[in-house]
Structure 1
């Protein structure tokens, strides 16, 4: 993967200058100025709880790698807290534990668009900053969503990765969807837009089935094999899920199928899919740099927990990364809008092929 270089020397000098300036002013001057910048807390006093949908998954472990790297270089603390089973009950327990332990912020990839509302409200009432990444919640219950791409971007990307492998994408094609759950917010938003995109651009495609693996590797493998057996004339399987996609590729390999027999594409980390590209089971798949996403999510959480505000339209220079902008919730299709609730969209996504997969390591 591209090297994760952070420009922390300059950032540290900036913090030192700010600290010296603060020391030269008395409390009365600060009150008179009415400034509301960072709190006086040292970075090491800030704890962010970084919550994946599930642990043990290459995608989320890579996100944590980025989160930990950012925390180590800046000096704040990140606690990686999750369970192997991605359920609402488990995430509610983790959120409650973060609140009771005195965490300053959480950065969570949610398994449900509304199942965490009560727990998140308790966190907000306790003064805990709430940031989401990868998969959002109701925007009323978080400040910032660090988004890998809008439904329009990612839905079209999924369809295009399949279409470019077809001899005649304008002709009749049988297509299956295979991902984690009918309730998980991010994947369903991508699929919803993708189906509109298909209807407009490829009206001869037929979606013959939509299957769910619930984030379980063994169940996903069984479902992948069942899809192959049940739909012998299937042309493509699109799996926008980091458990379903490698399971579907493994199912095809087990059945002796190559990319020439069945198109399989979707979203998963390059490390989990490289063997299937190299042996010809798949031609391409996509994702974004999840290490950057994890790093950005915890930095935003740390920034807010340090006493800073972010409002729609604000920009922020993130150490070692590009300047980011907080956009309105409407870019994700939400009706809820507030000046302190918005979305930061990652600047790029990646299509992995045989030519570039070895350039990445996450």
Structure 2
């Protein structure tokens, strides 16, 4: 009898919720308040990472959580490990990490998950065993192929070019470069020649020096693609005050605010990126939903991501923000990030 009454009461509550215009799924999928979520960027002082982390903190504030950003000042493969260990000791509800190295952090993130801490990677993925969800900027293949397509337009479809990457172990950089190389195999790019992949280690001065070295080593260079916000800004800065200005195209991935002056002074014609603030925002909501138990990270599950709406988890726990935007002189002043 008591069981029947409880069942009836539950049914009446469910009917009332539906009648009020709230779905049962939405009612069950509320994010808990008071969640402790820590962001671990590649580098604490990287301008791109700062924007992404600020987006994450904004989301955490929305769902009344406790957010913080901790991380290294260098982009070394193991530089994030000590911060992960500290966060485990502090018993965070979730860790959101942009990995400097796909494998170096995995044992420590597995330790975190074993203790009930949810792990979301974003921007630069860990090995799949090191997280439950990966929040990707856009489809990796589209980003890589798009970089070659844009460069080809900028240099007339022929000539030597170089890639100025971040660190040799950066997951996102290496994946994009792989797809760039695949795109180059198409017949229409037969006159494009990739002469060098250089690494600036996401350090402004090293990227600046690497740009100088590329121009000295390859006097016929017609383009530099830097799929890293630090690299593209450093390359543009060097070329803007060199005889190569107007002769060597600089493109890649950067933020409108850091690249605006180079677009306006003619050093850079066009480049691409997504909104890193939205990327961090989405990662925070993914972490909060994991920590709240509304999702587990399985393919096909959906969750609410605040102002970004409902998002669905794809293969291998991947959630995609959306396609990148191409910025040029015609639209760059419409963006502020």
Does the alignment reach a TM-score above 0.5? yes
Choose the corresponding residue for 2:247, options 256, 261, 265: 261
Cα pair 2:166 2:228 within 8 Å, conserved: yes
Runs in 1 of length 4+ with deviation above 4 angstroms?
35-42
The CA deviation at 1:226 is: 1.4
1:160 counterpart residue number: 149
2:171 counterpart residue number: 185
1:237 counterpart residue number: 224
CA offsets per residue over residues 183-230 of structure 1, 9 Å max, x none? 111101100111110111412211111110111111111111111122
The CA deviation at 1:36 is: 12
Q: Which runs of 5+ in 1 are unaligned?
A: 1-20, 26-34, 330-341
The CA deviation at 1:38 is: 9.4
1:139 counterpart = 2:128: yes
Choose the corresponding residue for 2:162, options 153, 176, 179: 176
How does the TM-score come out when normalised to structure 2?
A: 0.88
1:281 counterpart residue number: 267
The CA deviation at 1:172 is: 3.8
1:327 counterpart residue number: 314
2:308 is paired with a residue of what secondary structure? coil
The CA deviation at 1:68 is: 1.4
1:218 counterpart residue number: 205
1:60 counterpart residue number: 49
Q: Which moved more, 1:65-74 or 1:128-137?
A: 65-74
1:358 counterpart residue number: 333
Cα distance in 1, alignment partners of residues 313 and 196 from structure 2? 37
1:272 counterpart residue number: 258
CA RMSD of aligned residues (A): 2.2
Choose the corresponding residue for 1:85, options 53, 62, 74: 74
2:182 is paired with a residue of what secondary structure? helix
For these two proteins, the number of residue pairs brought into alignment is 315
Cα pair 1:38 1:306 within 8 Å, conserved: no
Cα distance in 2, alignment partners of residues 41 and 174 from structure 1? 53
The CA deviation at 1:44 is: 4.0
Cα pair 2:164 2:200 within 8 Å, conserved: yes
Choose the corresponding residue for 2:305, options 318, 321, 326: 318
Choose the corresponding residue for 1:69, options 29, 43, 58: 58
Structure 1's 215 and 42: CA in aligned 2 closer, same or farther, altered over 3 A?
Answer: closer
Choose the corresponding residue for 1:344, options 319, 322, 327: 319
Cα distance in 1, alignment partners of residues 54 and 248 from structure 2? 34
The CA deviation at 1:123 is: 0.5
Cα distance in 2, alignment partners of residues 320 and 183 from structure 1? 33
Structure 1's 93 and 312: CA in aligned 2 closer, same or farther, altered over 3 A?
Answer: same
Cα pair 2:256 2:335 within 8 Å, conserved: yes
1:192-203 to 2 correspondence within 5 Å? 192-200=178-186, 201-203=188-190
Structure 1's 231 and 66: CA in aligned 2 closer, same or farther, altered over 3 A?
Answer: same
2:84 counterpart residue number: 95
Cα pair 1:216 1:243 within 8 Å, conserved: yes
